[in-house]
Structure 1
Amino acid sequence: MNFPIAKRIADLRPSDIRLMTRECERLGGINLGQGLGDLPAPPEVRDGAIKAIQDGRNTYTPSEGVTPLRLAIAEKLRRDNGLTVDPEQEIVISNGTTGAFAATLTALLNPGDGILLLEPYYGYHLNTILLQGLEPQFLTLNPPEFDLDEAALNAAVRPNTRAMVLCTPANPSGKMFSATELAIVERVAERHNLLIISDEIYEYITYDGRQHVSPASVGRLGERTVSIMGFSKTFSITGWRLGYAVAEASLASAINLVNDLLYVCAPSPLQYGVAAGLEVPPEYFQHLRSEYQRKRDIICEGLNDAGLTPLVPQGAYYVLASIAHLGFADARSAAISLLEQTGVASVPGSAFYQSGAGESLIRFCFAKDDATLREAVARLRKFRS
């Protein structure tokens, strides 16, 4: 039988991240493409989930999440993000930050609404936007600093633009938006009455003493911001699929309605595990930053030695490298050539751009154990374009 597929997925394409992962597996290579974060989970998180299973916490939870986790998040937001929120009405636990993002779009925007992405963007943001029938709109930030300009941002807003996505620290660039840049966002959002959706999944992975600034903590942005955060990167539990949305009560209520319909609830015992993880001492987060900064420096040195120019990230655990000088026709050709020659997988920069700017870039993930990362760097040094 030849049943037609839904029109809503007609413009969707498989992620190049997935495609490069499959090709890497076929060749038995080292995968620096997908953001797997294959470091061990903290014992507190692991043991907290195990205890919850043993205690029989295996049934449905409230759609907004279990109370201990929402209380722990509220304290974390106060301590680390400068945000005071009501854990009963302003926090929604979901199935990963992707789940929280999808629920937010469904609850707060209508088909045909415009939503502004700053490129390079995270590909799953774009595909979720397309799936919702929204109109993606783009503003390109220029390397190496990816600075946000107020005039350019204001000019990018169209008559139907209703929202803007921020990712800080950003995937794939590692860009961290400063308080000054977020003040620009506040002014433009006020001028055009925009909803701000802030993806902060990498908030604890920052470098060179930089402090993460949550957009909702700047001026009056909190009134119009949905802060989307999670645990996958902080605790190296990407497969657990746990994230959350923080917003003013009426927005959170709408998001939770959709969250319930789409997902029912997040996995019960895993919620208790991350609640235990949020009780770890501050030294854990300091160690996390220093370890990833060390790994960042290892990969950037290796890329330089391989003749690939790294755009040194301010945060997150990815690095874009310039291939403009190597003469490849496009970024995918460069990524495939690199994988075939060295056995190291990257992701074409075109996966993160609507414009052609990504054709001169490839992205690497350095969230790997030291032995794997050093072997990858040794292989990269043998690369010849």
Structure 2
Amino acid sequence: MPDISTKAKSFGESVIRAMTRVANKYGAINLSQGFPDFDPPAELLDAAAAAAKNGPHQYAVTWGAQNFREALAEKQSHFMGVPIDPDTNIVVTCGSTEAMMAAMLTAIEPGDKVIVFSPFYENYLADAILSGAEPICVPLKAPDFSFDEKELEAAFAQGAKALILCNPSNPTGKVFRKDELEFIAKLADRYDTFVITDEVYEHIVYKPNTHIYFASLPDMFDRTISVSSLSKTYSITGWRLGYAIGSARVIEGMRKVHDFLTVGAAAPLQAAAVTALSFPDSYYESLGKLYQGKRDLFLKYLDKAGLSYVRPEGAYYVLVDVSEFGAKGDFAFCEWMARDVGVAAVPGQSFFKETIENFVRFHFAKKDETLKAAGERLLSIKEKWASRTGRAKTAR
């Protein structure tokens, strides 16, 4: 029988989604895969109910329903500070996952090099393989996850065609500073490189940090493909409504790639989501405060449990250092934690190109009562680990 492709054999399944299955297997509180356990805004649910009853029920325009693109263009023009034409600068996709893949297939030729910061969201390396690109990983160094300017320029100098920038960052929670973004922009201009941004956490940023859209920097709009989605902002990860924003020439090509990948995003959900895209600025301010409260609540439990972590500046993840356990932050440790402690996390190894064995990732996009329950369970993690290994609890 014929063999499957080399591409399909060259990467594994999603570790994040696998940990959800582990959480379900052991009845653990799922702080691994990043989705909320609370409802979207009531106005959005009402709009979805109306769309389910009244339609539209057939295909929308392949690259996004007109009213959805118009509402999205108005909202993003406001926040990004650049004019966005709904007819030439937007393609609507089946989640930001597809938007990133379509962006890669549009910008990249097989054999091109793509710069990826490490740690990274796990999809990026798979996207590089599927698009035939060679990834060049540049480390972000804890505790602030800054990059070395010389290392980054050396990566550009290898002839990279694009750089992938996740900001705010999954899994680190880093929000890139203006000077960092300006340095990347300088290199992108010098070496004539695309920058493909993943900005799905654009509205989940903790003061005093601020999110700066890369496309809003001087002369960067034409070389930036801005990828995002409605999933995190409106707590609708299952709706799979993503998009990309870019120059007309890029979006023209990307629309063709998207058409043959998925044809189009769900028409009734686009119709319903127009309601959310019209929310006032106060919604986004409240969203940031909501998640800042959840972050602070969960970090208090980590402090009480005596666990070390990197304080997130944005997004809704926290990397916890488990090196004091004498265990690797790998799948086996996370499976033990799900089974014996009752809390599921993601092994840190799945986010790093280099050998990093001391982190696991939790997310805190949960109801306060869920976070409290998980926090209470984590208070016993050292005792349970010591009992398992027969060693005394590690002193902090």
| Pairwise TM-score range, normalised by the shorter structure | over 0.9
| Letter of the structure 1 residue corresponding to residue 234 of structure 2 | F
Partner residue in 2 for 1:383: 381
Q: Which residue of 2 aligns with 1:360?
A: 358
Task: Give the superposition deviation at 1:329.
Answer: 3.7
Which residue in the other structure is 1:121 paired with?
A: 120
Count of aligned pairs between the two proteins:
383
1:313, distance to aligned residue in structure 2 (A): 0.4
Q: Give 1:54 deviation, angstroms.
A: 2.3
CA contact (8 A) 1:174 1:313 kept: yes
Aligned to 1:46: 45
Note if contact 2:225-2:245 (Cα within 8 Å) is conserved in structure 1. Answer: yes
User: Aligned-pair distance for 1:330?
Assistant: 4.3
Give a deviation string over 1:55-83, Cα, whole Å, max 9, x none.
23011111111111111111112211112
| 1:236-315 alignment runs, 5 A limit | 236-315=235-314
The answer as to whether partners of 1:44 and 1:280 remain within 8 angstroms in 2 is no
Aligned partners of 2:196, 2:36: CA distance in 1, in Å?
24
Cα distance in 2 for partners of 1:290, 1:206 equals 9
The CA distance in 2 between the partners of 1:49 and 1:254, in whole Å, is 31
Summarize deviations over 1:142-188 as a string: whole Å, max 9, x none: 11111233222101225341100000011000111122111001111
Q: Secondary structure at the match of 1:157?
A: helix
Contact 1:29 1:345 in 2 (8 A): yes
Alpha-carbon shift at residue 201 of structure 1 (Å): 0.3
Take 1:50 and 1:163, find their aligned partners in 2: how far apart are those partners?
Answer: 41
Match of 1:106 in 2: 105
Query: Secondary structure of the equivalent of 1:110?
Result: coil
- Deviation, structure 1 residue 383: 0.6
Q: C-alpha distance in 2, partners of 1:226/1:259?
A: 14
Aligned to 2:389: none
Letter of the 1:305 partner, please give it. K
1:44 touches 1:273 (CA, 8 Å); kept in 2?
A: no
Q: How does 1:215-230 map to 2 (within 5 A)?
A: 215-230=214-229
Matched to 1:153, the amino acid is L
Aligned residue identity for 2:373: E
**Contact 1:50 1:269 (8 Å CA) reproduced:** no
Between 375-384 and 101-110, report the one with greater CA deviation: 101-110
Equivalent residue for 2:54? 55
Residue ranges of structure 1 left out of the alignment (5+ in a row): none
Over the matched positions of the two proteins, sequence identity in percent amounts to: 37
Counterparts of 1:52 and 1:377 in 2: how far apart (Å)? 39
Q: 1:342-377 deviations in whole A, cap 9, x for unaligned?
A: 1100011101001012x1100001101111110000
Task: Confirm or deny: 8 A CA contact 2:157 2:191 kept in the other structure.
Answer: no
| TM-score, normalisation: structure 2 | 0.94
Please tell me whether the aligned partners of residues 96 and 229 of structure 2 are also in contact (alpha carbons under 8 angstroms): yes
Distance in 2 between the 1:191 and 1:244 partners? Answer: 28
Measure how far apart 1:6 and its partner are. Answer: 1.6
CA distance in 2, matches of 1:371, 1:59: 40
Match of 1:86 in 2: 85
Query: How far apart, in 1, do the equivalents of 2:48 and 2:344 lie?
Result: 33
2-structure distance, mates of 1:56, 1:141:
46
Tell me how far 1:264 sits from its aligned partner: 0.8
